[in-house]
Copies of this chain bind each other. A is one copy, B any other.
């Protein structure tokens, strides 16, 4: 056990952090958009300058590997720039105007101008699997800062040193660009009580969380049971079903098998959008597909998982799956080995068994997936109809599959936040059209996204100014 570098914050420290976030809310939101843009760009610059050290440190704590971490850091930098542009343009204010109509009948209409305001201090609770992009300075933090919300980040205990390094860089940027000192703060904590205290603190205006379903559900209830309930946004992962239609399976089976296994095994399957299910219909394409899947799995290397907790959970859930399902490719992990080295494991089950068992619908966080063999199109559709919400859903179809795809598409679309035509879901590109959210239990509020430009909508509310004169004091504030 390495030395515990970052002790848990005390209740007093949490209180102090939230109170000082609250105190600096007025001066921080008053900063011109250009100034907050400079602050975000300064963070981006420091990330770029320190990229080698950051990647080294994050790899020590997460074992995600240099290539992945370099890509992730690059994405994080581009997100900071996206939100710097937003802060500068002030488009997040979404101004709306209606002129007065003093002679309107039956009653005159006053002039109205509506603009978004920041909600207040935002608490960010990042994920274990993205030490840069869903951590101290990802979409959550960058979008909240862009609109003028002070941010208190809860460091992930499994990569606390990376979090502290990032936080140090942000604090340098705060100073360098003259922002209020407490517009950004980091809180350390292994104990759940620390996260709970942050969610329950009266100064917390909104929470952005990425993590487990269990954790998200518990915190969502807390947020709702406060004296003053607050919006709680959790992204809790999902099954991300992939529906392969018969002609696509027959025509592209080999490529699909390779891409499927690559998607399941990507970064040891530790992705919110890892395909946890692949559904197909019994027919001539199935056995060859299973064969190619076995081939592909046999070529994968076992990879080191994020940390001991993740490794333990993965072993436990795959042990459960193995007790009721056929392991069609890959092999069981050795739960006792010290390298937390995970093998890719693909299970199979029949459609009718899948329909009966709710245990098979729990996300296995790691390189495992289930192939569901449906006896016919009706069972395929029935399963689509029985699915809970997911971040993503995918359809692989050829033109000859059109009739079935037409039945399937609206069913899947009504249960996901992102619908893929071909391709596999891992990987999110942050931009204007990005939507990383989905119906419960993928997120607590499917109307919002935790990645991409519109992530800021979680942190603003409209205020309508009525009857304000067009000049003078009222315009100055």
Q: How far is the CA of A117 from the CA of B412 in the complex (A)?
A: 13
Q: Give the number of times this chain occurs in the complex, counting copies.
A: 2
Question: Number of A interface residues, CB 8 Å?
Answer: 75
Task: Check A417 for interface membership: any CB of B closer than 8 A.
Answer: yes
Q: Determine the chain B residues whose CB is within 8 A of the CB of A146 once the complex forms.
A: none
Q: Determine the chain B residues whose CB is within 8 A of the CB of A419 once the complex forms.
A: 463-466
Tell me whether A433 and B96 are in contact (CB under 8 A): yes
Pick the contact of A402 from B225, B464, B469, B473 — CB < 8 Å? B473
Q: How far is the CA of A446 from the CA of B416 in the complex (A)?
A: 26
Task: Check A86 for interface membership: any CB of B closer than 8 A.
Answer: no
- Indicate with 1 or 0, residue by residue over A283-294, a CB within 8 angstroms of chain B CB atoms: 000000000000
Q: How far is the CA of A9 from the CA of B292 in the complex (A)?
A: 57
CB of A442 to closest CB in B, whole Å: 11
Task: Check A331 for interface membership: any CB of B closer than 8 A.
Answer: no
Q: Determine the chain B residues whose CB is within 8 A of the CB of A439 once the complex forms.
A: 461
Q: How far is the CA of A429 from the CA of B474 in the complex (A)?
A: 21
Task: Check A228 for interface membership: any CB of B closer than 8 A.
Answer: yes
CB of A113 to closest CB in B, whole Å: 6
Q: How far is the CA of A448 from the CA of B422 in the complex (A)?
A: 36
Q: Which residue of B lies closest to A388 (CB)?
A: B228
CB of A23 to closest CB in B, whole Å: 12
Task: Check A221 for interface membership: any CB of B closer than 8 A.
Answer: yes
Tell me whether B447 and A461 are in contact (CB under 8 A): yes
Tell me whether A469 and B110 are in contact (CB under 8 A): no
Tell me whether B427 and A107 are in contact (CB under 8 A): yes
Task: Check A299 for interface membership: any CB of B closer than 8 A.
Answer: no
